[in-house]
């Protein structure tokens, strides 16, 4: 996405979404096995197409604390930086993003107060912001990630090649008055 943003000067806004919220039934063994089996292919594609080394974190990580922490980071002008740090921690460093120590460390890396972040995890306004995003995703009918919505009009689901994202971006730009 960074390439797309730089080339087209587009704004990217991240929204919260929980793929497997707490209390969800465990993944069926066959589905879990399919996901685990696909990880080497995904890592290979990421390396070959984007030069990214992937070492994803635990499959059933509870992302909720990280989503709340990101709302705190957004409120302090560090949302994009914190999002990148969390994504890197989970997808490239195999870290658990529901761990308070990890979240505080990431907050510090992007210039936020670790203690303020910890306190923010229990503040209702950040929880409400996460819940609002999740309701929006439900309104769009989203059931998986990644999911990208361009100009509140075009939905692109799944890990798509750069050219697909480029085509959608060009279409949106062509439609602008």
> Torsion-angle region of residue 23: left (phi > 0), alpha (psi -120 to 50) or beta?
left
Model confidence at 142: pLDDT above 70: yes
How many whole angstroms separate alpha carbon 146 and alpha carbon 156? 8
Q: Over pLDDT 70: what percentage of the chain?
A: 94
Does residue 165 contact residue 148 with C-beta atoms inside 8 Å?
yes
pLDDT (tens digit per residue) in 78-119 = 999 999 999 999 999 999 999 999 999 999 999 999 999 999
What's 126's domain CATH number?
3.40.30.10
Per-residue model confidence (pLDDT) at position 3? 55
For residue 33, the surrounding DSSP H or E stretch is: helix 29-50
Q: Over pLDDT 90: what percentage of the chain?
A: 49
How many whole angstroms separate alpha carbon 19 and alpha carbon 37? 19
Per-residue model confidence (pLDDT) at position 2? 58
How many whole angstroms separate alpha carbon 141 and alpha carbon 154? 13
pLDDT (tens digit per residue) in 19-65 = 777 778 888 999 889 989 998 998 998 898 888 899 999 888 889 99
Number of domains comprising the chain: 1
Beta bridge partners of 147: 157
- Which domain range does residue 60 map to? 2-175
Per-residue model confidence (pLDDT) at position 7? 58
């Amino acid at each position: 996405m960074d390439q797309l943003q730089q080339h087209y000067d587009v704004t990217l806004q991240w929204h919260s979404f929980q793929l497997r919220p707490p209390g969800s039934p465990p993944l069926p063994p066959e589905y879990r096995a399919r996901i685990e089996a696909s990880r080497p292919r995904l890592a290979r594609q990421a390396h070959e197409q984007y030069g990214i080394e992937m070492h994803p974190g635990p499959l059933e990580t509870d992302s909720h604390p990280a989503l709340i922490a990101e709302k705190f980071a957004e409120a302090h002008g560090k949302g994009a930086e914190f999002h990148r740090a969390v994504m890197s921690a989970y997808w490239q460093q195999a870290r658990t993003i529901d761990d308070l120590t990890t979240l505080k460390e990431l907050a510090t890396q992007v210039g936020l107060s670790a203690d303020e972040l910890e306190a923010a995890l229990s503040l209702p306004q950040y929880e409400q912001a996460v819940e609002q995003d999740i309701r929006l995703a439900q309104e769009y009918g989203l059931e998986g990630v990644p999911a990208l919505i361009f100009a509140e009009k075009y939905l692109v689901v799944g890990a798509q090649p750069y050219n697909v994202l480029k085509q959608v971006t060009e279409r949106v730009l062509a439609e602008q008055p």
